[in-house]
Amino acid sequence: MTSGFLEDFDVGDSRKAGPYLVSKAEIIQFAKQFDPRPFHVDEEAAARSVFKGLTASAAHAFSIFIFLTNKVQPPLRALAGLGYDEMRQPNAIRPGDELDLESTVLEKRESKSRPDTGILRSQIYLRNQKHETVFQCVSSVLVARRPPPKASA
């Protein structure tokens, strides 16, 4: 299995993963640990919020994005996340949503300082079962390059 190196991804390539079912229990449990605002943990308070119901924390959305990134085939040989930009949530994530990830390569380049690595910049979308975007960002990831073939003995 030699796929998932920088060389295996071209600009414009799209890869998908999912679905990820977001249960009400998981929304509340995650938010109780990291983001216990009423509209993430309390159904009645959530009904009175601008969202008119329970919604997942942005931290939960980001975590689901990272989870699904690990499921993309071929698995990216990621060495480190370098940064994330333009993170937006055009629609809320709600209990029962089934989320799909789409990752499209925007740019790839070889690292100057580490010639065995390169950088992939990708446009990320998480969409729900109604094909509404619930999370998007641009990710920059340090990826391993394919090792050169060994000289035969």
Binding site for its own copies (CB under 8 A): 33-37, 49-51, 57-59, 62-67, 70, 78-89, 137, 142
Q: Give how far Cα 97 sits from Cα of 15, 108, 136, Å.
A: 20, 32, 16
Nearer to its own copies, 3 or 33 (CB): 33
Q: How far is the CB of 152 from its own copies (least distance, A)?
A: 27
Nearer to its own copies, 128 or 141 (CB): 141
CA distance 149 to 47: 60
Nearer to its own copies, 9 or 20 (CB): 20
Q: How far is the CB of 33 from its own copies (least distance, A)?
A: 8
Q: How far is the CB of 153 from its own copies (least distance, A)?
A: 26
CA distance 102 to 45: 33
Take residue 55 and report the two structure tokens written for it. 């919604």
Relative to beta strand 117-127, strand 133-144 is antiparallel
Q: How far is the CB of 35 from its own copies (least distance, A)?
A: 5
Which residue, among 85, 95, 88, 87, has the nearest Cα to 128 in the 3D structure?
A: 95
Q: How far is the CB of 127 from its own copies (least distance, A)?
A: 17
Backbone angles phi, psi at 45, to 5 degrees: -65, -40
CA distance 27 to 145: 37
Nearer to its own copies, 70 or 153 (CB): 70
Nearer to its own copies, 89 or 104 (CB): 89
